Amino acid sequence: MATVQFGKETSKRGEFVRQANRFTDRITADGSSGWKAEPGRYRLVVSLACPWAHRAIIVRRLLGLEDAISLAVVDPIRDEKGWRFTLDDGGRDPVLGIEHLSEAYLATDPSFTGRFTVPSIVDVESGRVVTNDYPRITLDLSTEWRAFHEAAPELYPEPLRAEIDEVIEPIFRNVNNGVYRCGFASSQEAYDDAFDALFAELDRLSARLADRRYLVGDAITEADVRLFTTLVRFDAVYHGHFKCNRNKLTELPVLWAYARDLFQTPGFGDTVDFDHIKRHYYVSHEAINPTRIVPRGPDLSAWQEPHGRLDVRLEPRQGRRDVGVVRPGPVRLAGDHDGHRHEPARHPQPAALGHPAAGAVRHEVVLPPRDRHLERRLDLVGEPAARNRIGDRADRDPAAPAVAVGAAEPRADGRRAHAAPPADLDDFFGEGDHDRRVADEPVDLRRGSVDGHLTGRDRGRHPSTPPTAAGAVKAAPAARQPHSAGPKLP
């Protein structure tokens, strides 16, 4: 049999059989599990390259848990001891005080001999791993950490849980894990079976999403998060590296538009780091890519193209109040002409897709002083006196007052402010001047920034990845103190 990447996880038939999650304790709201949800107590260890960890990054951000659960980002390249903290000063995590994630694993179970995986949640005081059970981690962030959510959407709403569970099971088996079953197969038969199951499921998902914007219900849920983290990596690594090459994502019209819709939603595209993704897969899997050459492509600019899915809708969820949902909207991943980096809002704000609040709603564009970050907020309140405030960068005097949207105001760059929004706020966010303005400004999709961690060029960028324009990357964060919740996201 050919050399395999993970011998312990390869069957006699040549199939990749993923190892079980070793640590499956749960962090609960009441502490009945032995681990109580408490701000500052736990540290979430992730790799920006890993799709399983990426789920937790997205959900943590969408729910506004950045201050409650601190984040540790490992180097995308593992060494013989596994995931390492070489992105931090001195090659040591500043909160846990360890050089490798394996140290926390072995402190918890000295007999452990499996792979050290991310995401993992570590108890800061004891240094022990509480859980590396990635499917449960994100669900518990939604259900057990509710007391610490900030203007959070319902990613796992109770009335839809049965349907979400039904949808995500084949997505995991055939897509999330299916690409690995293709890539790590060591026999033609095992590869063929995984390949057929993968594209059959993608075809089913295309059919499902042809007449609905999201997988379940009328808003983004856990199901969309789980599918997105595989789709966003598909053309960059899975199509070539894992031989998932019947089609590229860009050749599947419905899924490609769906993926762009999510990518352009705050909390999704701004947590993607293609530099980490490509270097991890192409350099770490020497059995698949012995030369460790990292390809230059694909072209990433199309991720910012309009997705055209604003007219794909479902009826409002029945039998429940409108809750916070993740709003669609363009994502700015790099600075523009002022040399500063702008990122989307930290937390989605309460709003209902396509259902404006009752009463007359006044819309304003608020132009704050120049700053390193761009916050784009939508606060939709069901009161006649309520107003929507949409953050936008000031291209004029920082002290200039807010202006109503009604009359388009000229900007210093020659473009004009937004026209009056229609009654349907989805159209306001997805169409017209706003969409075009973001589309024609420079973006850098190769790298992101999570909780102040420098990525890409700043932390050992692979020479195959071209540098960004000067000034497009954030400055290094101040050193964190042990037991802190970590710095705030922009």
Residues 341, 392 contacting (CB under 8 angstroms): no
Catalytic residue (choose from 50, 238, 244, 282): 50
What is the side-by-side strand order in the sheet with 120-123? 70-73, 42-46, 120-123, 129-131
Token pair 């007999």: residue: 111
Q: Which two tokens stand for residue 14?
A: 């040549």
> What distance in Å separates the CA atoms of residue 260 and residue 249, rounded to the nearest whole number?
11
> What distance in Å separates the CA atoms of residue 346 and residue 450, rounded to the nearest whole number?
11
282 is catalytic: no
Cα–Cα distances in Å, from 56 out to 61, 80, 114, 133, 134?
Answer: 8, 25, 22, 11, 8
Cα–Cα distances in Å, from 154 out to 228, 348, 351, 362?
Answer: 17, 11, 11, 26
Q: Which two tokens stand for residue 41?
A: 């107590």
244 is catalytic: no
Residues 388, 364 contacting (CB under 8 angstroms): yes
Catalytic residue (choose from 134, 180, 258, 282): 180
Looking at this protein, which amino acid is placed at residue 310?
L
Active site residues: 50, 180
